[in-house]
Copies of this chain bind each other. A is one copy, B any other.
């Protein structure tokens, strides 16, 4: 098979990574995609670094079997905790994480930067190298969003609790779920610029594929496959919220056993 026509592999702890896929499809609509969401073991953000590395490694092994040309770690927790580990372990395939493009784009910034993410992402201190940075774990955002609690008083009060006192010029939404509640965050922090790392990684991926002559060369748009390690009615509903209405998602169950 022509290497250019192989799919791009994407994995996430669950379905939040579909917000990253959405951005990839915007800039690279013709690419094939194999997505794996580890819905049987989501969330990763509350677990130990050892387990996060182990689960992430298993996800990469699945994508390698699917013969992908490169891998995007859509999950911020995986990227922050296991990114470097995976790049070392699997040095034969290009692996992109969602943290590096953020660090690159802000490394020269003199502005006051806020980063919000899961407990594991923030504890990893991967964003601490930025100049003026405040990091806030927001562990209840993910369950709220997965429950569809994305507008109204309850989520607004939670956003105020976590971010009400934050005074920053830029806020990095360092979790795949957070773009879903950007409206609520914007309401609480109207003067703060929000950064969705999904947009940055999609741009980086596009540049990489062009530079290395790896852009899909087939005339037709290549297939997008969405695998999950656990499947129920709710996952189907939630996945549509993350991917948006423009693209119909059909989830397939993948069993380790």
Using a CB–CB distance below 8 Å, which chain A residues touch chain B? 39-41, 46-51, 54, 119, 139-140, 143-144, 146-147, 149, 153-154, 157-158, 161, 229-232, 234, 257
Considering the complex, give the chain B residue whose CB is closest to the CB of A39.
B47
Q: Could you list 30 A-B pairs, sorted by A, with CB under 8 Å?
A: A39-B47, A40-B41, A40-B47, A40-B51, A41-B41, A46-B146, A46-B234, A47-B230, A47-B232, A48-B230, A48-B231, A48-B232, A49-B232, A50-B230, A51-B229, A51-B230, A54-B257, A119-B234, A139-B143, A139-B147, A140-B143, A140-B144, A140-B147, A140-B149, A143-B143, A153-B157, A154-B157, A154-B158, A154-B161, A157-B157
A229 contacts which chain B residues (CB < 8 A)?
51
In the assembled complex, the CB of A256 is this many whole angstroms from the nearest CB of chain B, namely: 10
Q: A119: which B residues are within 8 A, CB to CB? A: 234
CA distance A100 to B33 in the complex (A): 47
With both beta carbons as reference points, the residue of chain B lying nearest to A152 in the complex is identified as: B161
Nearest CB in chain B to that of A235: its residue:
B48
A47 to B38 alpha-carbon distance, docked (Å)? 11
Measured in the bound complex, the distance between the Cα atoms of B255 and A123 in whole Å is 23
In the complex, the chain B residue whose C-beta lies closest to that of A41 is B41
Q: How far is the CA of A47 from the CA of B146 in the complex (A)?
A: 12
CB-based nearest B residue for A256? B54
Complex Cα gap A149–B230 (Å): 28
Measured between beta carbons, the chain B residues less than 8 angstroms from A143 are 139-140, 143
* CB closest residue in chain B, given A51: B230
Chain B residues whose C-beta falls within 8 Å of the C-beta of A257 in the assembled complex: 54
Since A41-B41, A54-B257 are in contact, a sample of 15 more A-B pairs with Cβ atoms closer than 8 Å, ordered by chain A residue number, is A39-B47, A40-B41, A40-B47, A40-B51, A46-B146, A46-B234, A47-B232, A48-B230, A49-B232, A50-B230, A51-B229, A119-B234, A140-B149, A153-B157, A154-B161
Interchain nearest-CB distance for A248 vs B (Å):
21
